[in-house]
Chains A and B, each alone.
Chain A
Amino acid sequence: MKPVLIVENVRKYYGRVAAVDGVSLTVPEATTIGLIGPNGAGKTTLLDVISGITRPDSGSVKLAVEGGVVEITGKPISVITMLGVARAFQIPNVFDGLSVIDNIRTAIIASKRLYKSISRNYDSLTEVDEDAKGILELVGLYEKKDVKASNLSHGERKLLDIAIALVARPRVLLLDEPTSGLSALEKGRITSIIESLKKERIPMLIVEHDLDVVFSVSDRVIAMHEGKILVEGDPESVKADQRLRYAYFGE
């Protein structure tokens, strides 16, 4: 299948620590890739490089868009976002002083460049509010739409963060541990959201510690260890690979 996201030989050092050490991978269209690995393996750093938050020391990231493939390494974060790379965070990253719905509204306003319509009230844009309602219902936060984000529970903030990433149909969606710190109920909600995004054929790169979740939602799994790709393949073969056990438990 046609690749949507192409990561080529990315390296990122923090001092002498090789956080990401020569990683290459592709996310093909309509494919969900699960990225696993023990703490400190470099998963978040890799997502940060892809979304433009961290500049790699070497290597490149490319994105397939209409009419070709563009290199996105070194471009400003907002430009990469507008090109279609959406991102949710390991630690909830929301707008604390805004209400739940305003968090979604602002993300929609940014993605549709509606900030230019200065003659209108931000909370009377019907198109925006319809979309916002749909997204909040999807993550189960619609009842809390008027609550300030700072007053949400950890799990709700996590859901809100994911909701923010879903406002536009992304070319590729990067989720960093979407179920960490969630209750069983919230976890179920996230897995079903991922399933429905899969049906919509949205390419995803999902970092996840809960291996049950990863192996059930991913089409392919990549395991990282100390900045390098250790094992790669379909869920069954990766699950069976002894090197994985070694990376996690050092046996």
Chain B
Amino acid sequence: MARIMTGVNWLIPVFALLAVVPLVAGPFYSRLVATGILYGVAAVGFNVLFGYTGLLSFGHAMFWGTGAYVVAIGTVKLSLGFPQSFLLALGVVLLLALVTGYLSLRHTKIYFAMLTLAFSQLVYAVALKWRSVTGADEGIYGIPRPLGDIEDYYYVVLVVSFATLFLTWKLLRSPLGLAFRSVRDNPYRAEVVGYSVNRVRLVSFLVSGLVTGIAGALYSPLQSSINPDSLYWTFSAAIVFMAILGGSRVFLGPFIGGLVYVFIQDIAMGLTEYWLLITGLILGAVIFILPSGIVGFIVKLAGGDEE
């Protein structure tokens, strides 16, 4: 049951449904849903580390934002094509994850979270100050969108997101994924059965950063602009929220969390200038009522086990 509810079987119907959006909705909602998909992928990436490996990162905006910025810089400043810029972005994100992961993983728990926060603020500061490359607080405009229209680019987002989620799922179902969960449950025992816990955590950190970075790299062409907000700590917090909102113990939980988050944010923004407060209240309420998240709740309703 658990496998049917949370596995790759649900990836296909969910994405089939998402594929219809540009056909029935205009550019506004296509952009909104595409953003939700990317938020969702970012949150799934975060959750590789959080839900599956037991480490709370409070700095995942750095991977999202770095992915977004490198594509922007590649296409606008270096006149590279989108595919080249995209690959470059993945390389830079991996390198960033390697360095920040190596240094942050000297600690666990709250110290780990604080270190990731510190590194992400460092990256934010670089984006804010390095005007010639990043455009400072104004960011970068006029990022070309592959295939032009939002409704067409939407399918690029959809296909790459699907592939990313599918591969992430495969990895989590592999022996390495079991190693992640073992380290999450009992790092001490994991070490005594022969895992180098630090190395397992670093690999998880790399995968996690990369997946979130892929989402970010697709995001800036969608918006055709990017600014330092994408690297700010509030977005790291938003990613944490999305994962918990959807359910961190279910593979697709954070993905659904990302989609729902975008709509909550959009509705709240339309209602009041205090949208951040409203969003926070709604999220707090949902988490209070459904502690295992939206998808976690549905899985339990259907009688399935988590994971």
Binding site for B on A (CB under 8 A): 51, 53, 76-78, 81-82, 87, 93-98, 102, 105-107, 109-111, 114-123, 125, 148, 164, 167
A103 to B, closest residue via Cβ? B182
The reply to whether A97 and B185 form a contact with Cβ atoms under 8 Å apart is: yes
Question: Of residues B192, B195, B196, which shows the largest number of chain A Cβ atoms within 10 Å of its Cβ?
Answer: B192
Contacts of A167 in B (CB 8 A): 193
- Say if the beta carbon of B194 comes within 8 Å of chain A: yes
CA distance A115 to B179 in the complex (A): 7
Given known contacts A78-B197, A115-B179, A121 and B173 CB-to-CB distance under 8 angstroms: yes
Contacts of A77 in B (CB 8 A): 191-192
14 additional A-B residue pairs with CB within 8 Å, beyond A82-B194, A98-B182: A76-B191, A76-B196, A78-B197, A81-B192, A95-B181, A95-B186, A97-B185, A98-B178, A98-B181, A106-B193, A110-B193, A115-B178, A122-B175, A122-B178
CA distance A110 to B179 in the complex (A): 8
Contacts of A120 in B (CB 8 A): 174-175
The reply to whether A97 and B181 form a contact with Cβ atoms under 8 Å apart is: yes
Contacts of A87 in B (CB 8 A): 192
The reply to whether A118 and B176 form a contact with Cβ atoms under 8 Å apart is: yes
CA distance A214 to B196 in the complex (A): 34
- Say if the beta carbon of B189 comes within 8 Å of chain A: yes
Q: Which of B170, B178, B190, B194 contacts A105 (CB 8 A)?
A: B178
The reply to whether B175 and A117 form a contact with Cβ atoms under 8 Å apart is: yes
B174 to A, closest residue via Cβ? A118
CA distance A87 to B191 in the complex (A): 11
CA distance A123 to B170 in the complex (A): 12
A-B contact pairs, 11 of them (CB 8 A): A51-B192, A78-B192, A93-B192, A95-B185, A98-B182, A102-B178, A110-B193, A114-B175, A115-B175, A122-B175, A125-B175
- Say if the beta carbon of B177 comes within 8 Å of chain A: yes
Given known contacts A119-B174, A120-B175, A122-B173, A110 and B186 CB-to-CB distance under 8 angstroms: no
B26 to chain A, nearest CB (A): 41
The reply to whether B194 and A111 form a contact with Cβ atoms under 8 Å apart is: yes
The reply to whether B193 and A122 form a contact with Cβ atoms under 8 Å apart is: no
The total number of A-B Cβ pairs within 8 Å is: 95
Can you list the 3 inter-chain pairs with the closest CB atoms, starting with the nearest? A110-B194, A95-B185, A122-B178
Given known contacts A102-B178, A121-B174, A96 and B195 CB-to-CB distance under 8 angstroms: no
Contacts of A105 in B (CB 8 A): 178
Q: Which of B173, B176, B182, B197 contacts A95 (CB 8 A)?
A: B182
CA distance A118 to B170 in the complex (A): 8
Binding site for A on B (CB under 8 A): 170-171, 173-179, 181-182, 184-186, 188-197, 200, 305, 307
CA distance A167 to B194 in the complex (A): 11
Contacts of A53 in B (CB 8 A): 192
Q: Which of B174, B195, B305 contacts A78 (CB 8 A)?
A: B195
Contacts of B181 in A (CB 8 A): 95, 97-98, 102, 106
Contacts of A81 in B (CB 8 A): 191-194
Contacts of B307 in A (CB 8 A): 97
B207 to A, closest residue via Cβ? A118
Contacts of B305 in A (CB 8 A): 148
A52 to chain B, nearest CB (A): 9
CA distance A72 to B177 in the complex (A): 29
Contacts of A122 in B (CB 8 A): 173-175, 177-178
Given known contacts A78-B196, A111-B193, A111-B194, A106 and B174 CB-to-CB distance under 8 angstroms: no
The reply to whether A164 and B179 form a contact with Cβ atoms under 8 Å apart is: no
Q: Which of A51, A94, A114 contacts B186 (CB 8 A)?
A: A94
CA distance A251 to B188 in the complex (A): 40
A142 to chain B, nearest CB (A): 19
Contacts of B185 in A (CB 8 A): 95-98
The reply to whether B175 and A109 form a contact with Cβ atoms under 8 Å apart is: yes
Given known contacts A95-B182, A95-B185, A118-B174, A107 and B196 CB-to-CB distance under 8 angstroms: no
The reply to whether B193 and A164 form a contact with Cβ atoms under 8 Å apart is: yes
B246 to chain A, nearest CB (A): 19
Given known contacts A78-B197, A82-B194, A109 and B179 CB-to-CB distance under 8 angstroms: yes
CA distance A106 to B182 in the complex (A): 7
CA distance A77 to B196 in the complex (A): 8
CA distance A97 to B186 in the complex (A): 9
Contacts of A123 in B (CB 8 A): 173
CA distance A148 to B306 in the complex (A): 11
The reply to whether A93 and B196 form a contact with Cβ atoms under 8 Å apart is: no
CA distance A248 to B189 in the complex (A): 32
Contacts of A97 in B (CB 8 A): 181, 184-185, 307
The reply to whether A93 and B174 form a contact with Cβ atoms under 8 Å apart is: no
